Structure 1
């Protein structure tokens, strides 16, 4: 039961009770209401009387109210177990996107907004930013093109790109492929993974089915001793969504056409103009410099891994073919860590049961940010639900929900709701992400509307003998996504448009990346850990039954395991970052063609695979299928699984690397000496996280750092300081 002072939040949580029909009816109601508001403004306000308060403010306030429902209407496509509801959610997203495009090209409203802007009223800084950004967005959405066939074509393109985005993500969410293997073929893969796989019948009797979901895929690539199995799994995963191949190609061709209609040289120029980087040249120079610096280290790492592979292959009496393949990397990277650094990831995972790790993470955020997390269970759910039914405040029975509060030092006020949806299921979003369900903002009466945010992840499910155990990289992933969730929760902006993670894409990852550093701090690893055998008598008995150790492990992770883990932080770092560079450079390549004919003619899969070979330094199946000196670069279609480039990171994937510049600078400047410094944590909360996108992100960084950001800590962290 929750402490009494946290029992009754001042705002009820959202309801999750739609039917497919009600979901579509609600969508149409919202859109009709929003259209009427703009119609009334256009009918009642002459241009000479247009002001911020009678033109943009009513629309911004309608956006605020609409977002309380619209985000959730589109969320079901990622989390619902009911296909009809997912389909309705996808249709709702399509309707909302088409409406947004229609409104963003509404010339009669733009003319009023333009007149209001020219009035040069004295506005508060956030309202001024809202006015300028919205005014510019109309021009970027086609009103800079003279009315006529070209503008009509631009709208056609925008509509089609919306359809592509929805279809692409739907294919990824609903992908349910897999491969059947014998238990012998999966030799080396941990028992807790294999035991959770579907058992075969009939022609698959004696086999198990491996899916491409992360809890199956990554352990197999890391632990399966059989190279042919790893190859099969890797190549099949690259081809799991080939229906998306044509959609991806169509999207990059249409984006290029749209950018040229607006007067830009390419899509990247259009997209980057409003980001921190400002120009594609800044991005390509940054990526190119990083590639030059990382390449020698990558080659050196491959050389060591190749030697390890040779030793391993020949020890089994097999022939070594002198190649280090894409499907080798997770396996031999793990083997190197175990052999040279005595790092046993499986043993480390025993100290990070999902439940206790989450509680530990929330405890860290409580201490440094001045927050209190209260899980809402049982009768407390019924008490705060608007319907009186606790099941109505979650979308699935496995979902946890927390009310979040300020601690006494921060004023004890309500902050918002946090949801955790952590295990895979059919039809669910397949990666790890944070979804805003309801943003925060100031309501017309001056009261605060509080946010609700959800972490959607895919960690392995618990079994009777073991809880869900997190590998260290999964601990980092959880910390990262929870970082986005905290950003979403503590943001305090006037308008929902600037709330939380609504920042420019080349900054948005920085706050979460900075918090990843806590996963490499000895004291924090210790505080997060608890060996799963201490959780219950049943787990203890199961551990003792399966363990080969003579003595029982300590309750928290021992120092020698922590030290061996931390010593590996930068092992094969160059290869990891070269992989990120491959994604970033491929993204820029397909969005900066020299001409429109060039993008139409671009062989996308070949480009993706060739760039990967050139940049990442790892061989692919092209080495196995070369004939007459010609290599087959069409063996896989990885771009068809690359949701980021269709879902908002187009000409922006570089942001994961550029954000690391800012995150490294913030951590090493402010937190490295004392990561649990609550004074600095609260300053960070109020200076960076609270502001969301309500001011220029560079100003936010300068306010926090006391100077402009520097690349020094980033390159030093990578061991690349000149």
Structure 2
């Protein structure tokens, strides 16, 4: 329990009391205020008198203030249960994006910024973060088309940027609003855990679905079915249907890659990838392509070997393994872990109740980074809410809120607010992600504004007889996203522009990927674990009623044999996992590196997506169902690759990771280097943890990310640990 001095934060949490009407009114007010500031600066400041303080600083401070509202306005579409509020959030985000595009293409403002840049780009009186802001803003105007002469081409560029914004918003909204699923009989779902099937909607009596169960494409339904369902036809139907769940996005994706290519060529770039990667750590598409190509060559033999072993297992089960299908993989991968490595996922999950796992994770972050997390209960929420109503500081009753503080060694100061929104519901963002709700920054009067950040996840809901239980891979996912949340919380930047995870895309995953190693460390697995029967007397009784081993109670913490089974499987079928990531990354680069405008216009994105997956991973899809069983190692000439549209479900490539998905792999180079160089010997070294917090996490994007790595490592980053971890050194 935290001491009383941690009870009353110096800053009230944000409110989530918007109506659709007020949300749009607030959006209009914010836009008008910002536009008025821009007009006033243009009117009052001449180019010869323009300075950082008279031009860049007012705009940066306006961005800071806008972000306190705009992040929340856009957040509603991912979490609100009110469809009208989600629609208003979508409309508001489009308005804000349109205004941002207009502001970023104002010639009169650019002329002032350009004048400041020429006078002050090397001004040592400017602090380093302000110089970085000047450089980024100046280049941003050029990348927004102001290097194109005024006229039809610039007008076309502006129209493209606005349409791309619309496409991104609509694409993600379609995914959030997706309500698809399939009806199955209980027999067709044989093997799917009872915890899953008992929560599925049942067909009504007297209808064609009587006696059947409705399986959605949400993660708590989808993944257990792919892993445990013994019926291969059910797995096939679910896999293919999930890959086709948002086919309305097919044309949106195609339009987006065509427009991106056109916009890049208007700016003088040969393709969108060159434009996007220029400002990332990789700098050029060739660097990315060489990295992905080299990794593909290194991983390919391992992938073939893993498939051969998995085929043996399939043959032992079915008597036939000529093909190893995409819908086979999660099932036989899970079966291999259970049989060959004695990995009992259901028994492991008993030791990872969601709430106690979160408590354990927060304790790790407390010890490592010098933090204190104080959960705000109903009375606490009422006390700190500006309205006096605790329900006003959350967007849903299920949301948990923590105030976060420095511990005594770090000065006992306030850090910010952490929100956890953990379970699926209609209209909610369907994956696991961290959302910044309000960034931190230094205000115009020199005081600190504290951040608020939210984890939005989709773990199964608890029942009266059993809590929500996590598989180990879900524990890793939760720890990863919490890592993003910690990055967001402890960041200490002057400007919101650089706060927290606002880094280049090929670095942003590295801090969270580095922290995933704690989930594979025996001492930390034990620290995170707690058998669910120890959570309450009611759960203990429920466990005893369902136990098959009599009245013998389980160990409170995970037994060593279970921990060993987890650790020993870390790299089982690792080549296939990374080849899957390579498929995403190479597809992303391929669609954004067309040889010509006509090439991207004629590109069949669905066919390319499915064909590349086969060629890279070696896993068969429906295109192989009717090919000769004797021709198992070559791509059939007449293969039909249009059986699904996986790219239409792939939000990353429409929402910011375009020509950037490679970052998930390339940032592993940095994450492995940091862990093995600094934390491998003692993951709970608080001295190094605090150094990591202050050297890496606090900086956000306020300095060049490569420089951040050099300062932490004391040298240039190396690929050695990455390839050694993959067994490829």
Alignment of 1:253-268 (within 5 A): 253-268=258-273
Distance (whole Å) between structure 2 residues aligned to residue 286 and residue 143 of structure 1:
33
* Whole-angstrom distance in 1 between the partners of 2:279 and 2:479: 29
CA distance in structure 1 between the aligned counterparts of 2:627 and 2:312, rounded to whole angstroms: 24
Report the TM-score when normalising by structure 1. Answer: 0.98
Report the equivalent of 1:143: 146
* 2:174 maps to 1:166: no
Could you list the per-position Cα deviations for residues 26-85 of structure 1 after superposition, in whole angstroms to 9, with x for gaps in the alignment?
A: 000000000000000000111110000001100000000000000000000000000000
How far does the alpha carbon of each residue in 1:325-372 deviate from its partner, in whole angstroms, 9 at most, with x for none? 000000000000011000011110000000000000000000000000
Query: Counterpart in 1 of 2:663?
Result: 655
- The residue number in structure 1 matching 2:483 is 483
Distance apart, 1:544 and its partner CA: 2.0
CA contact (8 A) 1:366 1:372 kept: yes
Q: Please give the secondary structure, in 2, of the residue aligned with 1:435.
A: strand
CA distance in 2: counterparts of 1:708 and 1:521, whole angstroms: 26
Give the drift of 1:2.
Answer: 6.2
Mapped to 2, the partners of 1:132 and 1:258 lie a distance apart of 22
Distance 1:686 1:537 in 2: 42
Instruction: For 1:695 and 1:168, locate their aligned partners in 2 and report how far apart those are by CA, in whole Å.
Output: 32
1:156 Cα deviation from its structure 2 partner: 0.6
Distance 2:666 2:621 in 1: 28
Name the TM-score, length of structure 2 as normaliser: 0.97
2:334 is aligned with 1:334: yes
2:497 is paired with a residue whose SS is helix
Residues 523-538 of structure 1 correspond to what in structure 2 (within 5 A)?
Answer: 523-538=523-538
The answer on whether the counterparts of 1:351 and 1:556 sit within 8 Å (CA) in structure 2 is: yes
Q: CA offset at residue 552 of structure 1? A: 2.3
Greater Cα shift, 112-121 or 689-698: 112-121
- Cα deviation, 1:561-591, whole Å, max 9, x if unaligned, reads 0001100000000000000000000000000
Q: C-alpha distance in 2, partners of 1:453/1:622?
A: 44
Structure 1 partner of 2:220: 215
**Cα distance in 1 for residues equivalent to 2:330 and 2:465:** 27
Preserved CA contact (<8 Å) 1:210 1:216: yes
Confirm or deny: 8 A CA contact 1:622 1:633 kept in the other structure: yes
Q: Structure 1: how far apart are the matches of 2:620 and 2:51? A: 61
Structure 1 residue matching 2:102: 3-state secondary structure: helix
Q: Do residues 634 (structure 1) and 642 (structure 2) align?
A: yes
Residue 590 of structure 2 corresponds to 589
| 3-state secondary structure, aligned to 2:437 | strand
Q: Quick check: 2:314–2:321 contact (8 Å CA) kept in 1?
A: no
The answer as to whether partners of 1:2 and 1:376 remain within 8 angstroms in 2 is: no
Q: Is it true that 1:117 corresponds to 2:117 in the alignment? A: yes
1:133 aligned partner: 136
Do the aligned partners of 2:401 and 2:418 also contact (CA within 8 Å) in 1?
Answer: yes
| TM-aligned CA deviation for residue 91 of structure 1 | 0.4
Contact 1:2 1:375 in 2 (8 A): no
> Unaligned stretches of 5+ in structure 1?
315-319
Q: Deviations over 1:177-235 (max 9, x none)?
A: 00011111111000000001011112111111000000000000000000000000000
1:313 maps to 318
Q: Which residue in the other structure is 2:437 paired with? A: 437
Aligned to 2:710: 702
User: SS of the residue aligned with 1:99?
Assistant: helix
CA-CA distance at 1:161 after TM superposition:
0.2
- Asked whether the 8 Å contact 1:402–1:418 carries over to 2, the reply is yes
SS of the residue aligned with 2:599?
A: helix
Q: What is the correspondence of 1:173-572 to structure 2 with a 5 Å cutoff?
A: 173-201=176-204, 202-314=207-319, 320=320, 322-550=322-550, 551-572=552-573
The number of residue pairs the alignment matches comes to: 716
Supply the distance in 2 between the matched residues of 1:690 and 1:169 (Cα, whole angstroms): 30
Provide closer, same or farther for how the CA distance between residues 466 and 652 of structure 1 changes in structure 2, counting only shifts above 3 A: same
Residue in 1 that maps onto 2:699: 691
1:674 paired to 2:682: yes
**Alpha-carbon separation, structure 1, partners of 2:649 and 2:146:** 33
In the alignment, which residue of structure 1 is the partner of 2:631?
Answer: none
SS across alignment from 1:203: coil
Q: Is the 8 A contact 1:625 1:631 kept in 2?
A: no
Cα distance in 2, alignment partners of residues 200 and 542 from structure 1: 28
Q: CA deviation at 1:545?
A: 2.2
1:592 aligns to what SS in structure 2? Answer: coil
User: Which sits farther off after the overlay, 65-74 or 111-120?
Assistant: 111-120
Residue matched to 1:607: 608
Separation in structure 2 between the aligned mates of residue 675 and residue 235 of structure 1, nearest angstrom: 41
Q: Cα offset for 1:265?
A: 0.4
| Structure 2 SS opposite 1:415 | strand
Contact preservation (8 Å) 1:269, 1:280: yes
For residues 67-112 of structure 1, the C-alpha deviation after alignment (integer angstroms, 9 at most, x for no partner) is: 0000000000000000000000000100000000000000000001
- Separation (CA, whole Å) in 2 of partners of 1:376 and 1:545: 34
CA distance in 1, matches of 2:90, 2:311: 46
Cα distance, 1:547 vs. partner? 2.2
Q: Name segments (4+ residues, structure 1) moved above 4 Å.
A: 625-629
Deviation of the 1:283 alpha carbon? 0.1
Structure 2 CA distance for aligned equivalents of residues 195 and 391 of structure 1: 31
Deviation at 1:633, TM superposition (A): 0.5
Return the alpha-carbon distance in structure 2 between the equivalents of residues 415 and 541 of structure 1: 40
Per-residue CA deviations over 1:644-668 (Å, capped at 9, x if unaligned) read 0000000000000000000000000
Q: Alignment partner of 1:599: what SS? A: helix
Counterpart Cα distance in 2 of 1:625 and 1:55: 66
Query: Distance between the aligned counterparts of 1:243 and 1:107, measured in 2?
Result: 37
CA contact (8 A) 2:2 2:372 kept: no
Most deviating of 144-153 and 120-129: 120-129
- Bigger Cα displacement from structure 2, 376-385 vs 545-554: 545-554
3-state SS of the aligned residue for 1:416? strand
Q: 1:667 & 1:198 partners in 2: Cα distance?
A: 44
2:724 — aligned with what?
A: 716
Separation in 2 of the partners of 1:359 and 1:590?
Answer: 43
Distance 2:102 2:702 in 1: 25
DSSP 3-state at the match of 1:209? strand
Alpha-carbon shift at residue 548 of structure 1 (Å): 1.8
Alignment check: 8 A CA contact 1:338 1:344 kept = yes
Residue deviations 1:125-150, cap 9 Å, x none? 00000000000000000001110100
Q: Where in structure 2 are there 5+ consecutive unaligned residues?
A: 629-635
Q: How far 1:535 moved relative to its partner?
A: 1.1
CA contact (8 A) 1:626 1:632 kept: no
Displacement of 1:546 in angstroms is: 2.1
1:24 match: secondary structure: helix
